Copies of this chain bind each other. A is one copy, B any other.
Amino acid sequence: MARKLSIMDSGWLMMETRETPMHVGGLALFAIPEDAPSDYMESVYRFMVEVDGVCRPFSQKIQSRLPGRLDAAWVEDRNFDIDYHVRHSALPRPGRVRELLALVSRLHAQRLDPGRPLWESYLIEGLEGNRFALYTKMHHSMVDGMAGMHLMQSRMASSADENLPAPWSGEWDKRKKPRKKSVAVAAKAGVLDGAGSVRRGAGQLVDLLRLPKDSNVKTIYRAPKTVLNRRVTGARRFAAQSWSLPRIKAAAKKHNGTVNDIFLAMCGGAMRRYLETLDALPAEPLVAQVPVSLRSADQAEGGGNAITTVQVSLATHIASPLGRLVAIQESMQAVKTRLGEMQKSDIDAYTVMTNMPLSLGQVTGLSGRVSPMFNLVISNVPGPKDTLYFNGAELLASYPVSLVLHGYALNITVVSYKDSLEFGVIGCRDTLPHIQRFLDYFEASLAELE
């Protein structure tokens, strides 16, 4: 029973090249239980591979016979081979987070096999501090953006004693009521409801493009060309770290702002520092492409699409940390005001119109050679507030591992988990040196606002 891919999802397959694999990942850190036996890691691996069948979407692969994959459909993989998808790895000593990030950087650079279900999960032992890690990658055509991480988290337990099958176990198909609604559907991209919306969406875009380039109100094609906006190779560097949410909230309160304001200011400050070190800071402010949810958290459970992307100034041209924060807040407020004036269907049209050139740029090979639409993608996604468990082990941290594109060599994504904001920075290893320095720069930029 084949299920055809949407044009948007097929697009992720079409955009994939050796240099730009189109999968997203999650890196989760767990505590080894105190009473764990010496063969504990082997038992976790067995828990992961000794499953009673495999559920969707983990069981399905792409079937396509036409060039360009226009007929791509999901079909069950009859030769499903769990040992291929679930892998047991280890870190060399001393097993610091540094060694973990080096391994994840390598694993994230490898393309998924297009002839199999488009996911792999790595159980990684040898992490110091009595911890272990789980790195899972899924193709973007299988799960949108953060949906993969949400899918994994929705299949973790809420206590150490609760027994749940592995996230891909066939037992999930047998459960009549899914424990939590999968977010996969909710994160799908918009569908236009009529030609009128397209006209109004286009009108919004034309209005915004008429604004001067130094205005705080941003849209696509208002970004300076920077080192971030070059062609990429297939190699990656991943950096990750947790920041205290109460700390960020205190800074937000001090400056009459939101957590997201402080987060964007941390990004703006870090980008300014990074580009200054490379002697590559442009005179005009960097523009971030930011996915925005249009609904409250309560509404999100209902499913359906309510996400758009907006362009926000990171005010990297302003030296003063406080001045930068204010400019970022103004830019974000201008976006919100404008979105508030638009109808839902017009926003959908605007979303599609501002994202279409991105896909076209990838497929035509122009991206990274012409002016960038924006400088980088920055996402801030709410995550679980309560402690989660995987096969009895407590989830300590959960970092998103996103993707980069030609012309967009860096991505910063954060998710919240309990009292932390979990930063994941992914970049092209060859285009951008010293990506791990962003972690220091985030910290310095937060400290400036405290």
Residues of chain A having any CB pair with chain B under 8 Å: 18, 39, 41-42, 45, 79, 81, 84, 87-94, 99, 102-103, 106, 110-111, 113-115, 123, 125-126, 233-235, 429-430
A256 to chain B, nearest CB (A): 45
Contact assessment for A233 and B93 in the assembled complex, using a CB-CB cutoff below 8 Å: no
Tell me whether A93 and B429 are in contact (CB under 8 A). Answer: no
Contact partner of A92 (CB less than 8 A), chosen from B115, B125, B430, is B125
- Residues of B with C-beta under 8 A to A84: 235, 429
Q: Is the CB of A126 within 8 A of B429?
A: no
Known A79-B430, A115-B233, A234-B113; judge A92-B92 contact (CB<8 A): no
Chain B residues positioned under 8 Å from A88 (CB to CB): 92, 99, 102
Q: Closest residue of chain B to A109, judged by CB?
A: B113
Given contacts A92-B125, A113-B233, 8 further A-B contacts (CB under 8 A): A18-B111, A41-B92, A42-B92, A42-B94, A81-B430, A89-B90, A89-B92, A92-B123
The answer to whether residues A106 and B90 also contact, given A113-B233, A233-B115, A235-B113 and a CB cut-off of 8 A, is no
Instruction: Report chain B residues within 8 Å CB of A235.
Output: 84, 113
Q: Chain B nearest CB: distance from A197 CB in Å? A: 41
Q: Which residues on B sit within 8 Å (CB–CB) of A111?
A: 18
Q: Is A90 within 8 A of B87, CB to CB? A: no
Nearest to A125 among chain B residues (CB) is B92
Residue of A41, A45, A91 with most chain B CB atoms under a 10 A cut-off? A91
**Contacting residues, chain B, for A87 (C-beta < 8 A):** 106
Q: Which residues of B contact A18 (CB under 8 A)?
A: 111, 113-114
Closest to A19 in B: B115
**Which chain B residues border A42 with CB–CB below 8 Å?**
92-94
Cα of A18 to Cα of B113 in the assembled complex, Å: 9
Cross-chain contact B90 with A92 (CB below 8 angstroms): yes
Cα-based distance from A430 to B125 in the complex (angstroms): 27
CA distance A87 to B107 in the complex (A): 12
Q: In the assembled complex, how far is the CB of residue A86 from the closest CB belonging to chain B, in whole angstroms?
A: 12
- In angstroms, how far is the closest chain B Cβ from the Cβ of A131? 15
Q: Lowest 6 A-B CB distances belong to which pairs?
A: A90-B90, A90-B92, A88-B92, A92-B125, A90-B91, A90-B126
* Complex partner residue of A125 from B39, B93, B110, B114, CB under 8 angstroms: B93
Q: CB-CB < 8 A to A125: which residues of B? A: 92-93
Q: Which residues of B contact A99 (CB under 8 A)?
A: 88
Q: How far is the CA of A234 from the CA of B39 in the complex (A)?
A: 32
